[in-house]
Amino acid sequence: MSGRIDRIVDLLDAKKGEDIQVFDLSDREYLTRAVVLATTLGDKHTLALLDYLKEDLKPAGETFLAVEEGEEWTVVDLGDIMIHLMVPEYRAKYNLEEFLDSLEKREA
């Protein structure tokens, strides 16, 4: 899984995604094992990053289970990894980092 996440992070970084953060949620009560957050440079950049992800990840065997496309916020569901691409205003407004950090740990 870390190789897959590294590939996503490297791609987003190469295509000018900003403030890229990875959250390992494998020990948390959440619907996916990892979340990747990235800030985009604007509306068109958000959509372009989605295209880059599709072009790079699909041939590598990734399955896009769902994609919610928007110019301000796009979510990509790969099953065990979720990718959020947001313009700066949405990233600040919704503060997903705080939400993800606050999730309860699973009981063993």
- Tens of pLDDT, residues 51-64: 999 999 999 999 99
pLDDT digits (tens, 9 = 90+) for 95-105: 999 999 888 78
First and final CA of the chain: distance in angstroms?
21
User: Average pLDDT in the 2-13 region?
Assistant: 96
Domain map (residue ranges) of the chain = 2-101
Residue labelled with tokens 């009560």 = 29
Domain range 2-101, its CATH number among 3.30.2000.10, 3.40.190.10, 3.30.460.10, 1.10.287.1080? 3.30.460.10
Q: Is the pLDDT of residue 108 over 70?
A: no
- Residue 35, pLDDT > 80, answer yes
Please, what is the angle between helix 2-14 and helix 43-57, to 10°? 140
**At 28, is the pLDDT very low, low, confident or very high (cuts 50, 70, 90)?**
confident
Q: Which residues contact 91 (CB under 8 A, 6 or more apart)?
A: 19, 37, 39
